[in-house]
Structure 1
Amino acid sequence: MSEELTIAIIAALAVAAVLLAWLSMMLAALESAISRVTRANLNNLMIEVQSDGELSDFTRQKKIRRLHAAQRIVMHRYAASNSCAFFRICGNVLTGVLVACIAATLGYAMWVQLVAGLVVALVIACITVLMRPRTVGSAKPLSVLISHAPLAAACVRLTPFIRGRERAASGERGEAISDDEELEKIRHEQGKAALDRLIETNRFDPEVSDMLRNVLMLSDTLTREIMVPRTDMITIERDGTLQDFLCLCSRSGFSRVPVIGSDIDDLLGMAYLKDAVRATAFNPVARARDIESIMRRPMYVPESKPVDDLFHEMQRTRNHVAVVVDEYGGIAGMVTIEDAIEQIVGELDDEHDRTQHAEPKRIGERTWSMPARTPITDLEEIFEIDLDEDDVDTVYGLLTKLLGRVPIVGASATTHGLRLTAVDSAGRRKKVSTIVVEPVSVEGGDDTGSTIQQQGDGISHDGKEHGHDDD
């Protein structure tokens, strides 16, 4: 073989190896871009191209053809991605083979040929998988896919066996889920896995790690899981006055209270403490005005709304509290922006919140201060009585049952010769935390009966006093 022919063969093999290496890198970028472009991205770009008056008809038609080709690729996303991966691997292998052929043409030993081909193939594989091409495909997926849509289409046509396998897998799954929704689901799972690996490196404090996990869990958490149910809501009726509302806010600790009509499902609006204070601070006569005079329109959200969407909507609309409705249109509960934040950072308490006592404490000769969660059995043991209450387990539950509504500070009820009085609240939701229990003498009646006293705030209740806070 002449020297000129040898040089020509080596040059041809070298050019072919370079072209295959370039093709492998381009396929790696294309593979990454295909997995990140959605149909919505392409549809929006199609509208922009069709409405762009500065483009000539030739340029517009050329771009539209490219977009149609990209849309066909995205319709069969996994087949196109797998086809690109198949030819990328083939290109890596062939590049190594060509380098081995060059070494053989130059007369090197066989082990040198094998090592040279293997090293080059591995280097090209590492570059295409770990370095620049995939970075470009991830940073500008739309432009990469549109520019190289014919290459991806050619890969799909040359690998019909991959597309057939995709149809079979889709039939086996039988899932009624769009391609873009499935892509979003996969990205979410990949994000969780990446975060878990990052946390395992111990680069973050445990609290920071928990917050990072909670951020990813927001989309899996529904509003019904964090809302305050309707049975725990504090409300005020429409015939209440601003004086009544101020008293209710003072005793309950809430700053935003729903205004209702005949019942809780007849929600009229939301009353804010700031509005009441602004109206009455320099005008005491205004305390006699109806609560409807400061009522605002409430924000409604469905109970099936993901918490991350709820959080962003409340940010956008500048609402700190929303009313949750069920699938039948009834009031299911209330939720605040703090409830969403607590899903990330944990329980939030302000400077007025106090920790509940761990154990009941004697504060008088026969008067006891008990945490709301004190079991009824402890109450029976302390006062040596038998309450015979099977449907409630705690002192708070007993007071709630006697009142027929959610107790607030000042609520009092008597049963079996004992008076239970709510005297303290704690937590951001201002739930009663401490109940004082003391014996009373019942005159002219059976001491096993029950009487109820709700220390006055001037508000007319229908036996359904519900509550929530947002401050």
Structure 2
Amino acid sequence: MDDIVNLSIVGVLIALTAFFVASEFAIVKVRSSRIDQLVAEGSKKAMVAKKVTSRLDEYLSACQLGITVTSLGLGWIGKPAVKELLVRGFGLTNIPDSVISLISATLAFSIITFLHVVVGELAPKTLAIQKAEKMTLWLSGPLHAFYILMFPFIYVLNGSARVLTKMMGIDMGSEKEHSHSEEELKILLSESLKNGEINPSEYNYMNKIFDFDNRIAREIMVPRREICAIPEDMPLDEILSIMTQEKYTRFPVFSGDKDHVIGMLNKKQLFADLVYQGEKDQLKIQDYIYPVIEVIDTIPIQELLVKMQRDRMHMAILTDEYGGTSGLVTTEDILEEIVGDIRDEFDEDEQPVIQKRADHHYVLDGKVRLEEVQDLIEMSYHDEEIDTIGGLILNENIDIREGQSIYLDDIRMKVLEMDGRYVKKIDLKKGVTSTDKGNTRTGLDIKEPLLVNEMTLSEK
């Protein structure tokens, strides 16, 4: 009867060891954000789990206390109990008593150690790591009860540990909630994508949000030369003609030139009143001009978006450091930085700013940012004053014309289309050889007429 009781105690002690080990690893492994979500959904188990995970130092001490006590109990009761059974079994043989005692002690130690390590620690540890959320919800209640029961001992042990660490010159400070850096969050998102927790679209949106905070308005603006603006003294018929031809909703209005924007016109409101009133002579353009936001072109786009939301405006005029108009930004331009291009029924003829022709061969809009080009191909070029690929070309050769090329190592940038000095379209190809370049000393493209202003960037 005593043997059964002792073995039962051994089983209970191993089970308790497994409980404390599983609790320890589960509450460390579980995501606090997931527990918060379950609490918001009203889960009672999650509410207890939140208490446990928010005070890890104290509850881990409870786990350690439990593991230590059960381990001592196994050593005190388990080994003698198993040894006694083995001695009785070997006593039926003709083995000398001294040998039986040695063999029984060795086997008893081995059996208890195996059960303690495998059943009491390794198996529950693996289970807790693999099923951290479920194990935390299941075990937090009993662990909380044990913590309350053993609170005086845990308090003394934790206090003693703090005194010891202070004597060693280590100030534990107050316990702070662990937070993740931006790079850590990107890694977590990558893992979630691999495991199917989020889809590729969600992953791309989140990555673009991280980049969103690093963008300034100048990088996404419609340049001054591309702004379709209306002089304040333009006759109504001409204004209606422009609005009919250009498929925009809002048009900046300027006085004198584009450096003096005084407001904007909303085509919808103007056309609606024209339809209802029917008399163009009764309409005064000045009555339809609304204020417009004016900001410096280096403003971060997240700040600009907040300002546009606060002022309830969909358009902002950007000015440069000298007070002149450098471009404009709409809410659509800002949103496209997160969700990608937004096309409507009037954008059928609009070409993508990046068109892939082959591997390492693209046709680019001159407004494409250098960061985007560097994401497409390996390109080494750094100039804090240059934002776009078109700006790079003009910076290297201000006199370049259509059909001419410049080279950066094995990258050819050929101008396909220009508007005055503005580079509109570029043929970009990586991996060109010296034969493709023609005269390697000057970088002339022999497929085009010889142009003395063509050169390799590395020689400039």
Smaller-chain TM-score bracket: 0.3 to 0.5
Task: Please say which structure displays the higher CA radius of gyration.
Answer: 2
TM-score normalised to structure 2 length: 0.48
Higher relative contact order (CA 8 A, sep 6+): 1
